[in-house]
Amino acid sequence: MDIALFLVALAVGVLAGVVVAGRMGIPAPLLLVVAGVAASFLPFVPQVHLEPDVVLFGLLPPLLYSTAITSSLVDFNANRRAILLLSVGLVVFTTLGVGWLVHALVPGLSWPIAFALGAVVAPPDAVAATSIGRHIGLPRRVVTILEGESLFNDATALVSLQTALAATGVGVEMWRVGYDFVVAAGGGILLGLLAYLIVAALRRRTTDPVLDVGMSFVIPFAAFLAAEEIHASGVVAVVTAGLLLGHKAPILQTAQSRIAERINWRTIAFLLENTVFALIGLQAQWLFQDLGDSSLSVARIASVSVATLVAVIVLRVVWVFVARYVLVRPRADPVTGQVPPWSFTLLLGWAGMRGVVTLAAAFLIPGTTEHREVLLVIAFTVVAGTLLIQGLTLPWMTRRLRVPAPDPLDDALARATLLQQASKAAVEELERIEYDDQTGVCDLIRQRLDQRNFAAWERLGTTADEESPAALYYRVRMAMIDAERRRILEIRRSGTIASEVIAEVLAMLDVEESMLDRAEQDRDEAQHYARRRWTTGDTCDDLARFPVVDAEPATSCQACLDEGTRWVALRRCLECGNVACCDSSPRQHATRHFHDSQHPVMQSAEPGEDWRWCYVHHLTA
């Protein structure tokens, strides 16, 4: 009963901490760590000893899997050199550097144990990096590299730790270290690939979303345990399986299964991620209490802890700059067409927050090890110090360096372009299909495709103080859905309709409402960033022939004035200068102008916008 009450109190405290952090405008992990430290010294809060098996076998697999299935395999491959240099090279570099430092500062500490501590504090945490990075709006490429690094660096650190512990008291050959790492990584990849093949075969025969999602809950634990059983890396196995299953999900799973899996894993990851940070803080009281048995002075312990924290931060910054300018030398970003600036590298070096894996790995150091209590405090200091120092200063550094956050307007433009190209493919498929359409079904399909595309383009509109058609549709349809739901609930109270039917109809309304809410949120974000410049990086011969024209924003569509209709947003033909209304306007005069004149490229004529659209190739620049 006491354990159950504690777990409930922990869950409530975590949820409350997330809400408070959101209102204060700070990342939730930072507040939860501080709150956990404070709570650990309260007399009525029980001592929480975070067992390594609980973390490594209970928390780590689902956290890694939830991140892996939402990570982009394409982005990972595009940044594989940087990710491997950080997840392997940096971990080894940090292990050696911290090991040398701690061996020099702690009297009587053996080299294997010193390197073991280096391996413990070496790997940054995927949860800390991505949650804080997304909260403050780090560039997507930086977040992608941090995610990829954090997915694999745990494997390098754990193999290094096991090798160092195995060398305690005896010599260890360098070839053995390399052999162990190759076996762990290679075996993990093979086990992850095998798990992917098995699950893929099962999912091709599974249409029940509940069964599919239930299967996904087993995957990370099964892959992790199977890999560890053959002395391979469970971390690599889980990540490999997750990356492949996430990449192939649109082919292997039904739409319902994908939606259900996404929602369920988001919920699990949310609870586990934030609980982990609270648990880190709750270790403080008993860790510092055990220092009373140490033969080292408080000053020596404090100096070693601070020196290790500084070393971890400095070694990472040094490595990322050396890796960038000596080893990687990155090429231009495929989206922006620009080489990432040095500020991206600095942010990548500064975003090295440690997490729960560091603490769990520290507990793997044998209890008979001399100065073990000091080593645990050093690990805790590194975790708490990097979270608080780097986590709190990362937003300030991002602002000072003027690093642009992901722009919702860029996303809105890319979304509209992608939907336009998808619709073009759909219409071509429709024309190939043989059918006998006597009821106008195909015309209805074309109309719905146009409505979807028009709504996407309309999110780019920046006309102030005017309600766009999409906004009007959202407001009216939401009111109608509320009325529908009230009526259905009245019927439910009467008991004249089966409860299963009532639940099904309510679920249909919920799906439509959630889609409307998401579209409205995207539109609001796009309008908030409406004065920002758009680019997608795509081009064609026509876009190359017609560069951006520096002209005053247009004020009206003459064709709309002549017909007595209204426009939503204005576009300018770059061949003849004609100004006409966009496709989300009632008359779509810009598209009509293209059909009449075959002039291929238009440019937005709205204030602060200079993006261009090619009608021929369906590309935006």
**283 in helix, strand or coil?**
coil
Measured at the alpha carbon of residue 609, what is the angle toward residues 605 and 611, in degrees to the nearest 5? 90
* pLDDT per residue as tens digits for the range 404-429: 666 665 666 677 777 777 878 888 88
Specify which of 156-165, 430-439, 526-535 reaches the highest per-range mean pLDDT: 156-165
Q: How confident is the model at residue 530 (pLDDT cuts 50, 70, 90)?
A: very low
* pLDDT per residue as tens digits for the range 437-464: 777 778 788 777 777 776 666 666 545 5
pLDDT tops 90 at residue 241: yes
* pLDDT per residue as tens digits for the range 298-318: 888 889 999 999 999 999 999
CATH number of 2-406: 1.20.1530.20
Separation between Cα atoms, residue 113 and residue 120, nearest integer Å = 10
* pLDDT per residue as tens digits for the range 190-222: 999 999 999 999 998 888 888 999 999 999 999
Specify which of 92-96, 247-251, 512-516 reaches the highest per-range mean pLDDT: 92-96
Separation between Cα atoms, residue 536 and residue 336, nearest integer Å = 7
Separation between Cα atoms, residue 527 and residue 524, nearest integer Å = 5
For the question of whether the overall pTM of this predicted structure is more than 0.95, the answer is: no
Separation between Cα atoms, residue 69 and residue 194, nearest integer Å = 16
Angle between helices 255-282 and 126-136 (to 10 degrees): 100
Least-confidence region, from 71-80, 108-117, 466-475, 510-519: 466-475
pLDDT tops 50 at residue 275: yes
From residue 181, alpha-carbon distances to 157, 159, 233, 405 in Å are 10, 6, 9, 37
Least-confidence region, from 336-345, 356-365, 439-448, 582-591: 336-345
pLDDT tops 80 at residue 43: yes
What does the domain layout of the chain look like in residue ranges? 2-406, 409-528, 541-620
User: What is the pLDDT at residue 310?
Assistant: 94
Structure token digits, residue 117: 């501590």
- In the chain, the percentage of residues whose pLDDT exceeds 90 is 14
Query: What CATH architecture applies to the domain 541-620?
Result: 2-Layer Sandwich (3.30)
Mean pLDDT of 279-296: 79
Q: Side-chain half-sphere of 93: how many Cα atoms within 13 Å?
A: 19
